[in-house]
Structure 1
Amino acid sequence: MQSQKGTKLGIWILLIICISQGVYIYFSEPSRPDPTKVVSVTHVGEGGAIYEILYDSGGATVPLIYRYFLMDIQANDQEALKKSTEREPFLVTKSPNAVRKVIGDSVKLKTSETIYDFHNVSIYKNNGKINIVTFDLVSTVK
């Protein structure tokens, strides 16, 4: 018959290993890569802009990724790149030039590549006022 004390010790050791591995996985999760450059800026609403930002840090085996951010108009591209690291994109795709038409606070988007993430509503703050922008996405596969 097995020792009850040995079984309990084994369970505690396995539990500690599992918790340690969970903590390691949580804290070592890869973060978003650094943005490469601002590809385009499209003005929307009052004092807002959509920034199309290229991420190509994956090397030869990872495709070019475009992230689209809605934020207040930035002074220059470097400020936009810096602020994009603090914001979540409303669209992540392989497709460049997704912004097709802006009508007030509504934006028409079109892609023909893989979409990794999309949110049809986003907000930006300008002079203390929160502005809501909606997105209409049309996606086709080549």
Structure 2
Amino acid sequence: MRFAIRCSTKLTAWLLATLCVVLLGWILLNRQPSPVLSEIVGRYPIGNAGMVYAVLTDAGGATSSFVYRYFLYQRMDDDQLALKAMARDGKAFLVTRDPLARVAVVEGRVKVSVGKQVYRFHSPAALTVDGQDMLVDVWLDARIETQSAEVVR
């Protein structure tokens, strides 16, 4: 009887340890690292306390192109504080490679036009100001320019 109890306890401990390792691996593989936000390249007011921030991410160095992330976030006057806050808890509604994207805020809606690759986009986007959540519609016009019109056969 003692042998059966010892085996059962060892098996349970082994199964729990295995489950913990699998769970930890899954968490690490699916974790999204915080982006390295370099500088704010555009600000577009939305309402009295909100802002659309266009932020340059150039952490890839010379081997990769610049990436631009667009955030809906509360208005902050200090760029460094805003960058730290967005890196910590901001969610970009648009991630693109286009340095010339055009942004307009019309009647509480954000309209964005891009001509280069879009990596990620979602709408509506959430804006939290003073503990109040607000959903903002984002309209995206993405007309990707191609290098050549030649058809590969």
Same fold (TM over 0.5): yes
Aligned length: 130
The alignment partner of 1:80 has SS state of helix
TM-score by length of 1: 0.77
Give, in angstroms, the shift of residue 20 of structure 1: 4.7
Return the alpha-carbon distance in structure 2 between the equivalents of residues 114 and 49 of structure 1: 24
Return the alpha-carbon distance in structure 2 between the equivalents of residues 69 and 133 of structure 1: 11
Give, in angstroms, the shift of residue 27 of structure 1: 2.3
Q: Which amino acid aligns with 1:131?
A: M
Match of 2:123 among 120, 123, 127: 120
Q: Which amino acid aligns with 1:112?
A: G
When the two chains are superposed, the root-mean-square deviation of aligned CA atoms in Å is: 2.6
Corresponding residue of 1:47: 49
Distance 1:72 1:97, change over 3 A: farther
Structure 1 gaps, min length 5: 1-11
Return the alpha-carbon distance in structure 2 between the equivalents of residues 44 and 67 of structure 1: 17
Structure 2 gaps, min length 5: 1-13, 146-153
Matched, 1:105 2:108: yes
TM-score by length of 2: 0.72
CA contact (8 A) 2:44 2:104 kept: no
CA contact (8 A) 1:44 1:104 kept: no
- Stretch of structure 1 that moved more, 127-136 or 88-97: 127-136
Match of 1:60 among 55, 62, 69: 62
